[in-house]
Amino acid sequence: MKKFNIRKVLDGLTAVSSSSSSATAQPGTPKENDTVQESLQSEHFQLCKTVRHGFPYKPYSMAFDPVQKILAIGTQTGALRLFGRAGVECYCQHESGATVIQLQFLINEGALVSALADDSIHLWNLRQKIPAILHSLKFNRERLWGSPTHCMMTSIVNKLRVHRITYCHLPFQSKWLYIGTERGNIHIVNVESFTLSGYVIMWNKAIELSTKTHPGPVVHISDNPMDEGKLLIGFECGVVVLWDLKSKKADYRYNYDEAIHSVAWHHEGKQFVCSHSDGTLTTWNVRAPAKPVQIITPHGKQPKDGKKPEPCKPILKVEYKTTRSGDPFMVLSGGLSYDTVGRRACLTVMHGKSTAVLEMDYHIVDFLTLCETPYPNDFQEPYAVVVLLEKDLVVIDLGQIGYPIFESPYPLSIHESPVTCCEYFADCPAELIPALYSVGSRQKRQGYSKKEWPISGGNWGQGTQSYPEIIITGHADGSIKFWDASALMLQVLYKLKTAKVFERARGKEEKPSTDKVDEDPFAIQALSWCPESRMLCVAGVSAHVNVYRFSKQEITTEVVQLLEVRMQPEFSEVDSPDPGGEHTPTFPTSGAPSSPQESEPSTQPSTGSNSSDGPRDNIPCLQVRSSPLKQSPGYQVELVIQLVWVSGEPPQQITSLAINSSYGIVVFGNSNGLAVVDYLQKTLLLNMGTSELYSPTEPYQRQPRSPRKARQPSGALCESNEGSNPSEDRCRSPTSGSTSPCNSDEERKQNFIEKVKVKSRRFSKTVASDFAKMSRKISLSSEPKSDQDAKDNAFIRSRSSSVTSIDRESREAISSLYFCESFPRKLDTLVSPCLLVGTTQGSVMMMSLSVPPGGDQRLQQPVSIASCGTLARLKGGILTMGLLDATGTLLPPSYEPWYDPNASDEEKEKGRRRRPASPPSSQEGQDTQFAVLCSEKQAKVVAMPSQTRIYKHSITETSFVLRADVVQMAGANCIACFCANGHIKTLSLPSLRPLLDVNYLPLTDMRIARTFCFSNLGQALYLTSPSEIQRITYSQETCDNLQEMLSELFTPVETPEAPNRGFFKGLFGGGAQSLDREDLFGETTAGKASRSLAQHIPGPGSMEGMKGAASGVVGDLARARIALDERGQKLGELEERTAAMMASAESFSKHAHDMMLKYKDKKWYQL
């Protein structure tokens, strides 16, 4: 049934909304609410991806353009990442998602060829800011070609073998691409038209006819640097063939007993080097195929009796580069001795008589030697080596002693430690980034190469948006990184190590009581940051909270301030408060005792009970450092708050966290209750159970009750992490490979739920509760709902406090906290500091704060807190809250401007002036504020101080919201939501009109749920892989300006001149020999390839893009040739037409002359 507000329809203030998916206005809304003018419309929103930062996930291949100086990396997921100078990055994705096995640049052409594991090749146009595929070629099953003898020998093996691409080679300034296959054949593709040539090199013709075995896949293809007509083909079995392209036969065959992994030419074309599976390098003379001229084992032990060295691990790749002024460089990966078990991967650089072994932190995927010239027939002059590791990219300087590495300008260290939480702040104070950079610059490592970063291609974008943006990432090792994300770039500013304030276990005997988080006890779970005051509050997975201040001066803290808090769970079952009246404060059921909440403030670690005979009690999970702590400029610890064990039960993990610099208060909550701490006085102000928050009485006047019943200690409880019930899953460690919890298929749903048990011991021991919560939500959303459940006032969940895992999931936890200055009680006329508390059961409670004046009184007088009852009830756990004034403007929490705590007293007093609050009064009977509440299911707007619900919107019925934020957008405010079914939605404020609903990204990974976050000005991000951050925008303005903001990969650069052949080489023919490949591979000579061999697929790139990609040397030659042919043809046609016209004119003249003679002497009457 539809509800209408006739007055709003007539005034044109809002649209008609349905009861299921649109905002509904509460009848009797005060007239003042109608004056709110909403400027946001649907046309202000559009969703698109912007940039991707971080290290490519699962890299597999790499290529480099030596003229454009652009690096390309292909991954096992079908992604392409291109890098230039600092800030020049690009991300592309193949639709198939197959592994990118090889990349080949069309050097200085602005194009790239990618070969995939699904037997397809693609041509990318890099001349546009967002690269696109121009052509694709998909190979089909390979036919059985070859002599009858060989076909019979291998027919059984090859009948069902797919045409697998194993190697590609594109010569410099050539348009013909050589493709080697698993079958051993070589096909040739025209990269301009992406058509196959009829010229094919068959494996049975390349090898000797006497060979009875198949040579294996093609592992190498390259042309002789001095003779383009000679092609060197390497087969896996150890056979190398020098093929004459013109005569279509093998000139020489080189045989070795060990399998080949790679081949490298000397630039003079007289020698080549092969790397083998036994760790040897063989050097061959082209004209001496009988045996290699040299065999060496770089890492093998040389026996004294002259026998063959012991075999080593395979040398996976070798490169041979020459210099004019000295010995050549030989760079290789692998080849270590088998007795070096556990040794890290190494890159070996052999230069003359010296051999340098460079250890790497991760497995080597590929490497490339960067040279001064793109011509293979000239001295290479290598200057750097790019090493692609499994989780890093290293560039080594070959020009300096010791081979130092270059300092990378890319943000490739996001995954240095796994990311466990992420926050995004757009439009920050302008002085923040310089301040963080100044303290972060002192943390940089030393010993880097002094030369500039060699990958320096591309140009920055010319974006018009210049507001500061900061991304904060929390990591599993307890570190926090601040990133400058302005102008679609990403650069690390500062790194904070929170684990420094704790003692580290030196051995198994000193292992702390971190049973539940023994893998990563310092992992960051949540953080709260105030950009204006620069106050930072961090919650860790070991139930600890650290409060930090920002200072530009170094200090030494003799004793770290510690406050221990005992949050005891409730054990008697308490019914939910009656939600029948949404705006009436509720009370616990009569007779239900409340659990005592105790605090242990101290400056030294407590000495609780931890004997083997009895349960642990009053013991924190971590031990605070007892020795003096030297704190560098930057964030310095102010206070450490730790939750302690209670009668053998570990403290529950913190599910929500907030800090306010104006009040000097930190508040946090978990499944046991809420705690409020005054970090200025280092005292605990409030510690109470969740059910007691419903009482409007003063919480600190409660009578203590008898202690809880004794229970057996549960170590398994710590490991399974059953007690945590966070509403915002983004605070946990990301996991990979988890299936989507949003699939409606019953079988897959049950499989997903079963994975909870398997993954319960995952990273940081926190993933189990995430999966449990997700699976529980699936069950809830899939169950049929009664009419009673559909009503808003009948949505009730039990707040059972049983210690079983199922009951722990249903226990009501604190899920959201928000400081504001509002009307704490119904019909109040004066605003005062308040705290909004949201729970996982959908309740929103209001608490009143009484903060003493600043100065000495603030440090001496206590802060008082009073519970004011329930403000509203919503379906699902509360995710975010906000406060608007009467005009719809967002009222942010008050803050204290930043001052250096170690500065002089005068500077402190200047900075401590509290930010002015909102208008202090309200006329009786008039609402001047709107409280915005958003849960996992719906959003509500409540008028203050009347506490009347004026708008309500059901966000989703079949799914649930994972992340929601109140953000500023185009000068107005809205609610941005990300749902588990992949939808991104925005709602206007205060009327909650739907403005955007896009099915963007289904939840296929828990990592996305934990790291997705919105920010102001239409920005958002999430962790798309363990090492990559994907940024998106939902702003129409940003989408329109995206082309200008993105960087350019291709820049016009002249190709270096070819090496001079010299007089004698030119005279006697000793220089490089060219080859007319067009004449050899063209359709006229080679014929057409079989249509069943491969299928041509036009790419999404436009014809204009294809023309732009072909505007280099090859394209210019092709167009010039076509233009000459067309010009000659037109000239020939013109000549023929001219001759015809001349003949016609001559005939006309003759006929005219004959006519004149015929009638010359006749009179007019004789005609």
How many Å apart are CA 990 and CA 377, to the nearest integer?
Answer: 71
Q: Which of 836-845, 1025-1034, 1079-1088 has the lowest mean pLDDT?
A: 1079-1088
pLDDT of 214 > 80? The answer is yes
How many other β-carbons are positioned within 10 Å of the β-carbon of residue 601? 15
Asked if the bond preceding 374 is cis, omega within 30° of 0, the reply is no
The per-residue pLDDT for 215 is 92
The per-residue pLDDT for 925 is 64
pLDDT of 869 > 50? The answer is yes
Six token digits for residue 1138: 């001219």
The per-residue pLDDT for 717 is 28
How many Å apart are CA 396 and CA 388, to the nearest integer?
Answer: 11
Quick one: which of 981, 793, 982, 797 has its CA closest to 876?
797
Question: Which residue(s) pair with 441 in the sheet?
Answer: none
Mean pLDDT (whole number) for 1130-1146: 79
Q: Which of 242-246, 980-984, 1061-1065, 1110-1114 has the lowest mean pLDDT?
A: 1110-1114
The per-residue pLDDT for 1135 is 76
Task: Evaluate whether 716 touches 727 at the Cβ level (below 8 Å).
Answer: no
The per-residue pLDDT for 277 is 95
Q: What are phi and psi of 1003, to 5 degrees?
A: -75, 100
pLDDT digits (tens, 9 = 90+) for 594-617: 333 444 445 444 545 554 555 788
The per-residue pLDDT for 1119 is 56
pLDDT digits (tens, 9 = 90+) for 354-392: 999 999 999 999 999 999 999 999 999 999 999 999 999
Give residue 1126's pLDDT band: very low, low, confident or very high (50, 70, 90): low
pLDDT digits (tens, 9 = 90+) for 166-194: 999 999 999 999 999 999 999 999 999 89
408 or 505, greater pLDDT: 408
Task: Evaluate whether 502 touches 627 at the Cβ level (below 8 Å).
Answer: no
The per-residue pLDDT for 724 is 39
By CB atoms closer than 10 A (0-12, 13-18, 19+), residue 975 is buried
442 or 395, greater pLDDT: 395
Give residue 557's pLDDT band: very low, low, confident or very high (50, 70, 90): very high
Give residue 1062's pLDDT band: very low, low, confident or very high (50, 70, 90): low
How many Å apart are CA 1098 and CA 707, to the nearest integer?
Answer: 75
1104 or 881, greater pLDDT: 881
Asked if the bond preceding 945 is cis, omega within 30° of 0, the reply is yes
How many other β-carbons are positioned within 10 Å of the β-carbon of residue 321? 22
The per-residue pLDDT for 339 is 79
Give residue 152's pLDDT band: very low, low, confident or very high (50, 70, 90): very low
Helix (H, G, I), strand (E, B) or coil at 272: strand
pLDDT of 57 > 80? The answer is yes
Mean pLDDT (whole number) for 693-708: 47
Question: Which residue(s) pair with 824 in the sheet?
Answer: none
pLDDT digits (tens, 9 = 90+) for 60-117: 999 999 999 999 999 999 999 999 999 999 999 999 999 999 999 999 999 999 999 9
Quick one: which of 960, 958, 991, 998 has its CA closest to 973?
991
Q: Which residues of 187-214 are buried (b: 16+ CB within 10 A; e: fewer)?
A: bbbbbbebebbebbbbbbbbbeeeeeeb
Give residue 797's pLDDT band: very low, low, confident or very high (50, 70, 90): very low
Portion of the chain with pLDDT greater than 70, in percent: 73
Which residue bears the tokens 């390979």? 142
1163 or 347, greater pLDDT: 347
Distance of CA 47 to the CA centre of its chain: 17
Mean pLDDT (whole number) for 1006-1024: 94
Quick one: which of 84, 960, 980, 714 has its CA closest to 459?
84
User: Torsion over CA of 485, 489, 493 and 496, rounded to 10 degrees?
Assistant: 60
Which residue bears the tokens 């000549």? 1135
pLDDT digits (tens, 9 = 90+) for 511-539: 444 444 467 899 999 999 999 999 999 99
The per-residue pLDDT for 1120 is 59
231 or 702, greater pLDDT: 231
The per-residue pLDDT for 629 is 94
Q: Which of 338-342, 413-417, 830-834 has the lowest mean pLDDT?
A: 338-342
pLDDT digits (tens, 9 = 90+) for 646-661: 988 999 999 999 999 9
Mean pLDDT (whole number) for 975-984: 95
Quick one: which of 356, 285, 371 has its CA closest to 323?
371
Give residue 208's pLDDT band: very low, low, confident or very high (50, 70, 90): confident
1113 or 1142, greater pLDDT: 1142
pLDDT of 859 > 80? The answer is yes
Six token digits for residue 1080: 């050899």
126 or 5, greater pLDDT: 126
The model carries a pTM of 0.81
pLDDT of 892 > 60? The answer is yes
Q: Which residues of 1096-1130 are buried (b: 16+ CB within 10 A; e: fewer)?
A: eeebebeeebbebbbbbbbbeebeeeeeeeeeeee
Task: Evaluate whether 442 touches 633 at the Cβ level (below 8 Å).
Answer: yes
H-helix segments, 979-1018: 1006-1011
By CB atoms closer than 10 A (0-12, 13-18, 19+), residue 361 is exposed
Mean pLDDT (whole number) for 339-365: 90
Tally of residues, the chain: 1167
pLDDT digits (tens, 9 = 90+) for 232-268: 999 999 999 999 999 999 999 999 999 999 999 999 9
722 or 1167, greater pLDDT: 1167
Mean pLDDT computed over every residue of the chain: 80
How many Å apart are CA 116 and CA 112, to the nearest integer?
Answer: 13
H-helix segments, 12-62: none
